[in-house]
């Protein structure tokens, strides 16, 4: 598993993939957080990172499928998947190695944004008057969200040998689990009956809960459950070649 993890990181950083992904994430979030009218912190007048944490999931929704689309789709289309699976590693080790490689790249993308926290501390009046607990919770939520998106997008890469299909289906799947259940809960026929169930399935609801700075075990269990489910689904998709 470690060898595959190391190989994935080498692929990301020996080519432009890793650097482009990190740059796009930082530039896009920087524009929304500090530059664009109506969303930037300076115009808002409050020392918070709400704009960043509101827009970051949408950028990850596009960025993560772009990172993972080649993980299995390229291996299958080039035939190298057969070579990898004949090595003394199990399917789950292959999946976890690729998963951790993509997840670490997401972490590398998020880490530089910690400078935003120190920037708003200096802008606050008085200096340092910021909701540190809420920001820490939001970062934990964003990391868990990224981990969940990686698992979802990795699965979509495993069910096709076309990278473009993997990218588009990965974006759709991330969007669906992030927001679709919220929309379903607002349909009048479901309000008061099934809306609570839809909210319980929504990634966005659990992300928003953690972003308040209160780490509820139920939210953490939800994210780890989603990650586990999609990793197991990826294992099933990868194992289907033997059927």
* Residue 2, C-beta contacts closer than 8 angstroms, at least 6 positions apart: 97
**Which DSSP symbol is given to 126?**
S
Q: pLDDT band at residue 6, thresholds of 50, 70 and 90?
A: confident
pLDDT digits (tens, 9 = 90+) for 38-86: 777 777 767 788 889 989 999 999 999 999 988 888 877 777 776 676 6
pLDDT digits (tens, 9 = 90+) for 109-146: 999 999 999 888 887 777 777 888 888 989 999 999 99
pLDDT digits (tens, 9 = 90+) for 165-222: 999 999 999 999 998 877 776 665 555 556 677 777 889 888 988 887 778 888 999 9
| Placement of tokens 């839809």 in the chain | 198
Confidence (pLDDT) at 77? 79
pTM: 0.91
> Can you tell me whether residue 45 is helix, strand or coil?
coil
* Residue 124, C-beta contacts closer than 8 angstroms, at least 6 positions apart: 47, 130
pLDDT digits (tens, 9 = 90+) for 23-36: 999 999 988 888 88
Q: pLDDT band at residue 37, thresholds of 50, 70 and 90?
A: confident
Nearest by Cα to 1 from 123, 101, 96: 96
Asked whether 99 and 154 are in contact (CB, 8 A), the reply is: yes
Q: pLDDT band at residue 243, thresholds of 50, 70 and 90?
A: very low
| 107 pLDDT above the threshold of 90 | yes
pLDDT digits (tens, 9 = 90+) for 216-237: 888 999 999 999 999 999 999 8
Confidence (pLDDT) at 194? 64
Domain ranges of the chain: 2-242
161 class by beta-carbon count within 10 Å (0-12 exposed, 13-18 middle, 19+ buried): middle
Work out the percent of the chain whose per-residue pLDDT is above 90. 39
Confidence (pLDDT) at 190? 54
- Comparing 9 with 196, the larger pLDDT belongs to 9
Euclidean distance between CA atoms 126 and 190, whole angstroms: 46
Nearest by Cα to 152 from 242, 225, 77, 53: 225
pLDDT, mean of residues 95-100: 93
Euclidean distance between CA atoms 145 and 151, whole angstroms: 10
Confidence (pLDDT) at 230? 96
Nearest by Cα to 33 from 134, 128, 123, 150: 123
């Amino acid at each position: 598993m470690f060898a595959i993890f190391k190989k994935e990181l080498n692929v990301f950083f020996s080519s432009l993939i890793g650097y482009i992904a990190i740059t796009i994430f930082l530039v896009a979030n920087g524009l929304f957080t500090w530059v664009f009218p109506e969303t930037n912190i300076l115009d808002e007048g409050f020392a918070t990172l709400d704009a960043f944490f509101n827009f970051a999931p949408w950028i990850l929704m596009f960025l993560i499928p772009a990172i993972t689309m080649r993980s299995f789709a390229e291996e299958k289309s080039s035939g190298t998947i057969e070579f990898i699976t004949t090595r003394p590693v199990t399917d789950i080790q292959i999946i976890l190695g690729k998963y951790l490689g993509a997840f670490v790249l997401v972490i590398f993308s998020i880490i530089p944004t910690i400078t935003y926290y120190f920037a708003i501390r200096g802008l606050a009046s008085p200096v340092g008057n910021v909701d540190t607990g809420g920001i820490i919770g939001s970062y934990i939520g964003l990391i868990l969200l990224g981990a969940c998106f990686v698992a979802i997008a990795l699965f979509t890469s495993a069910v096709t040998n076309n990278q473009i299909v993997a990218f588009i289906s990965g974006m759709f799947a991330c969007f669906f689990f992030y927001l679709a259940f919220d929309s379903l809960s607002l349909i009048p026929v479901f309000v008061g009956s099934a809306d609570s169930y839809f909210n319980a399935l929504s990634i966005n609801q659990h992300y928003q809960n953690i972003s308040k700075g209160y780490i509820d075990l139920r939210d953490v269990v939800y994210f780890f459950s989603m990650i586990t489910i999609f990793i197991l689904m990826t294992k099933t998709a990868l194992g289907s070649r033997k059927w």
